[in-house]
Amino acid sequence: MKTARGFFKPLAIGAPAPWRELPARVERMIHFVPPHLEKVRAKVGEIAPTVDVILANLEDAIPADAKGAALAGTIALSREVDFAALGVGLWVRINCLNSPWHLDEVATLVEKAGDRIDVIMVPKVEGPWDIFYIDQLLASLEAKHGVTRPILLHAILETAEGVMNVEQIAGASPRMQGISLGPADLAASRAMKTTRVGGGHPGYRVIEDPHADGSPRVSVQQDLWHYTFAKMVDACAAHGIKPFYGPFGAIDDPVACEQQFRNAFLMGCAGAWSLHPSQIAIAKQVFSPDPTEVAFAKRILEAMPDGSGVAMIDGKMQDDATWKQAKVMVDCARQIAAKDAEYAALYGF
């Protein structure tokens, strides 16, 4: 383990000092773009003002023979759209660390777009050693190319070993911005017998005991991901970084997508991925707290100005702990309102 002071020392001479606090950013949806497709890339300028983050994807879903074009497309994208002026994050998902592509990708990204990329997403992170490696590599490249703002790291949790080590991954570097669930690779890694990208499964359920009269037994579908998800959320919260739900592959099922996103939101996630333009509005609505809940939270804060004691509001007991929950809700709404005029009006800020 590094010493407490050592943790915040730059890892290369001339590299920028690591972040001590994460920059405060609204990241309700991470919108995935295949950057090798010129047709899709051309539309990013139009989509960007409607999202919080645009992610150029270099990994899975990009054919092996298009990896170079995707990297070139990412650099072009970083120049074509002024993401910083729009208040939109620019993220890149690189190929995994045991692939032949990641080294050239990281080198090219830092050299050609190091001052414009906010976050690099690293897939299939197995343990803290993967983060140590990429942390050092980034510091060396940032120093070499005079990048003054450290690029943050986001890990995808998509192997059984990664889940086992999630706490150490979350705390491996001050560059860690967050972690997303990668349900498709994780399912394969665990030998789960599914063929989906996230969401539930009709076969995973609980059933009530047989009735004496033989009448039908109630059976309810359960959440396949709850254990992994809760483990990830606690690891992130404990280390002061952000948990995210990952992708929802059934583009044709917006109802289930919304439910999956809402479960993640209620459990503490900051956002989810949008793979298709139709999922952007779903994520935006779900990850912006409900205005009615925000109004109630404001009443709690007003009823207990110093956050202590006890109060009754509409028959519900309020104390220091509900005050803290209310503060989480109101702070989140305030941050969103500062970025999004539509929600500022809904929240009355």
Ligand X SMILES: CC(C)(COP(=O)(O)OP(=O)(O)OC[C@H]1O[C@@H](n2cnc3c(N)ncnc32)[C@H](O)[C@@H]1OP(=O)(O)O)[C@@H](O)C(=O)NCCC(=O)NCCSC(=O)C[C@](C)(O)C(=O)O
In the complex with ligand X, the residue whose CB is nearer, 94 or 184, is 184
Q: Is 66 in the site for ligand X (CB under 6 A)?
A: no
Task: Give the residue, chosen from 89, 246, 271, 289, that forms a contact with ligand X under the rule CB under 6 A.
Answer: 246
> What residue has token string 């009443």?
299
**CA angle, corner 274, sides to 270 and 275, nearest 5?**
150
In the complex with ligand X, the residue whose CB is nearer, 81 or 156, is 156
Q: Which does 247 bind (CB under 5 to 8 A by kind): ligand X, Mg ion, none?
A: ligand X
Q: Is 197 in the site for ligand X (CB under 6 A)?
A: yes
Other beta carbons within 10 angstroms of residue 140's beta carbon come to 17
In the complex with ligand X, the residue whose CB is nearer, 11 or 55, is 55
In the complex with ligand X, the residue whose CB is nearer, 29 or 138, is 29
- Nearest CA among 12, 3, 8 for reference residue 21: 8
CA distance 220 to 250: 21
Q: Is 34 in the site for ligand X (CB under 6 A)?
A: yes
- Both tokens of 161, joined, read 């070993």
CA distance 257 to 250: 7
DSSP characters for 231-298? Answer: HHHHHHHHTT-EEE------TT-HHHHHHHHHHHHHTT--BEEESSTHHHHHHHHHHSPPHHHHHHHH
In the complex with ligand X, the residue whose CB is nearer, 61 or 237, is 61
Q: How far is the CB of 128 from Mg ion (least distance, A)?
A: 20
Tell me the chain's radius of gyration from C-alpha atoms: 22
Give the binding site for Mg ion (CB under 5 A): 158, 182, 185
Q: Which amino acid is at 300?
A: I
Q: Which does 103 bind (CB under 5 to 8 A by kind): Mg ion, ligand X, none?
A: none
Q: Is 282 in the site for ligand X (CB under 6 A)?
A: no
Specify binding-site residues for Mg(2+). 158, 185
CA distance 307 to 318: 10
- Nearest CA among 98, 104, 95, 100 for reference residue 156: 95
Task: Give the residue, chosen from 11, 15, 88, 156, that forms a contact with ligand X under the rule CB under 6 A.
Answer: 156
Specify binding-site residues. 93, 158, 185
Stretch that binds ligand X, among 76-84, 134-142, 245-253, 327-335 (CB under 6 A): 245-253
Specify binding-site residues for substrate. 93, 158
Task: Give the residue, chosen from 26, 33, 97, 329, that forms a contact with ligand X under the rule CB under 6 A.
Answer: 33
Interacting residue ranges for ligand X, rule: CB under 6 A: 32-34, 40, 43, 47, 57, 60-61, 156, 158, 182-185, 197, 246-247, 251, 275-277
